[in-house]
Amino acid sequence: MRHPQFRMNAPIDFELLAGEQLAIVGDNGSGKSRLVDVLTGKCALMPMNEVKYDFAPSMAKLVSDNVKYLTFRDSYGTGEGVYYHQQRWNQNDIEETPLVRDLLAESFRMAEEGLMRQSVFDKFLVRDETPEQRNARLAEEKAAKEQMHQELEKVKGHLYEIFHLEELLDKHIILLSSGELRKFQLTKTLLTNPRVLIMDNPFIGLDVKARGQLAEFLTLLTKETNVSVVLVLSKTDDVPGFVTHVVPVKNLEVGQKMTLQEYRMAMEPVPERMLSEEKEKSILSLPYQNEYHSDDGSELKQVIDFRNVNIRYGERVILKDLNFTVMNGEHWALSGENGAGKSTLLSIVCADNPQSYANDIVLFGHQRGRGESIWDIKKHIGYISPEMHRAYMRDIPAIDIVASGLNDMVGLYRKPKPEQKSICEFWLDVFGVKKYADTTFLKLSSGEQRLVLLARAFVKDPSLLILDEPLHGLDLKNRRLVKDVIEVFCKRRNKTLLMVTHYREEFPRNIDHEIYLKKN
């Protein structure tokens, strides 16, 4: 690679053959995304190292038409307009975002254009052929384009059926849940008729049913079309069965391609524990900050109390007659179908959703709408979510991101004071990313960004820890580390946990209550 900052530690030897379905696997920060940048032409290479492509039988010539990269990092990976934190909960701003129907129609139109698009070489090529040969060539090209069109219609029908997209067509894009948005992104990308489809952690954010549907669809896709699927995976213990080969990436070096069976035999077990005893003792001995008490100074017993809460946007009901009580010191796991209202519930607790004022809700012993500010609520809460990750798009040092958690700011940043810097560095060290303290946020991998945002959630020693799918994009060792940290933190006095996940194996050991939401 030309730019030293983006170079791998060894030359890349990589080949993807027709009929192969590939998984690129590796730890967070190992170089998986850099390899993808090379394959998609994003990274400038030395002239003698240009990537060679053969997209036959595709009629499209351009790399951008044939190779599509769909990133499922928690910034949502979309360019559907400007986004800011809390936008999803504000009705006035929702109306300014496009409908799912219109965006999918545009993707299908672009796919149709891609079937007909010619390169500059094709436009000016003078062929030495007879009229009969020319007519035969044009007829062959027309038949090939018609076949591609039929395949595209078949893919569209499958996607609309398995993901129930008819239910989403009239929704504004900003109203889609994390899982629904991933379904939309996948559909939009597949409708562009790629020859090679590269997907970064495609299963994160999907409920159990949707994950199974996606795996089945990708299996069908690889059998019925010429698409080659490349999965980029951090959670490497559940590589789907349709994958034929695996390429491991480690320490910015691309390993040898192997069969899926060979990879499974070579997998190393994850340690039972990743957090050291020294760091565990340090967490347990931290001085208490931001503890909440009742108005009379006694220990608060009730943290959250929802009484027949209803949330709706237009005709769509998100939460209906929800009664939900969380007591001090309880540790809850929240799960449910995509679009059932999990993130909406959390947005109410975190004082991000204006509709909380129209409902009977008590937080930290105070009735919402009776004079307390959102900052009175937020000062007790440590929070991470897909929406939050999406909102952090400024390229500032990681330690400043962590320090923003001390003041509950997203979008406004200031240098931490000397006494604040030490606690920021402490939590960066706990999550294994202290070495990136001065590295700017957007230069980190998605997994490394997630660890920084987790440090931000813990930095003010919150009484209520709200973790919305906190393990997204993390490799197996970092998943174990984060679970260790959560479990140790919740051993401390008066620590309450509310955690959203679609994987039961992600539950910390100290979960003592569960709630499951279904779509209305």
In the predicted model, what is the mean pLDDT of residues 13-30?
92
Q: What is the mean pLDDT of the chain?
A: 83
pLDDT for the residue numbered 323: 93
26 pLDDT higher than 90: yes
Rama region for 426: left / alpha / beta (φ>0; ψ in -120 to 50; rest)? alpha
Distance CA 8, CA 418 (A): 36
pLDDT, tens digit (0-9, with 9 covering 90-100), for 120-132: 445 545 577 888 8
- Residue 175's pLDDT band (boundaries 50, 70, 90)? confident
pLDDT for the residue numbered 74: 38
Kindly list the strands in the beta sheet with 316-327, ordered across the sheet, starting from the edge strand earlier in the chain: 316-327, 302-313, 360-363, 366-367
252 pLDDT higher than 50: yes
Distance CA 320, CA 351 (A): 19
- Please, which residues have CB within 8 angstroms of residue 17's CB and are 6 or more apart in sequence? none
Task: Give the Å distances, CA to CA, from 287 to 405, 425, 429.
Answer: 17, 16, 18
Among all chains, which residue has been given the structure tokens 């620590």?
495
Tell me which CATH code domain 4-78+97-266 carries: 3.40.50.300
315 vs 511 pLDDT, higher one = 511
pLDDT for the residue numbered 294: 64
Q: What pairing do the DSSP bridges indicate for beta strands 331-336 and 496-500?
A: parallel
Alpha helices in 99-165 (DSSP H): 100-116, 120-124, 131-162
Say what the pTM is: 0.82
Residue 172 phi/psi, 5-degree rounding, is -70, 145
Distance CA 134, CA 493 (A): 81
4-78+97-266 shares its CATH topology with 277-517? yes
pLDDT for the residue numbered 2: 47
Rama region for 12: left / alpha / beta (φ>0; ψ in -120 to 50; rest)? beta
pLDDT for the residue numbered 75: 36
Lowest mean pLDDT among 50-54, 109-113, 137-141, 419-423: 109-113
Distance CA 472, CA 358 (A): 32
Domain ranges of the chain: 4-78+97-266, 277-517
119 pLDDT higher than 90: no
Cis peptide leading into residue 240 (ω within 30°): no
CA-CA-CA-CA dihedral for 107, 38, 23, 260, to nearest 10: 140
277-517 placed in CATH 3.30.565.10: no
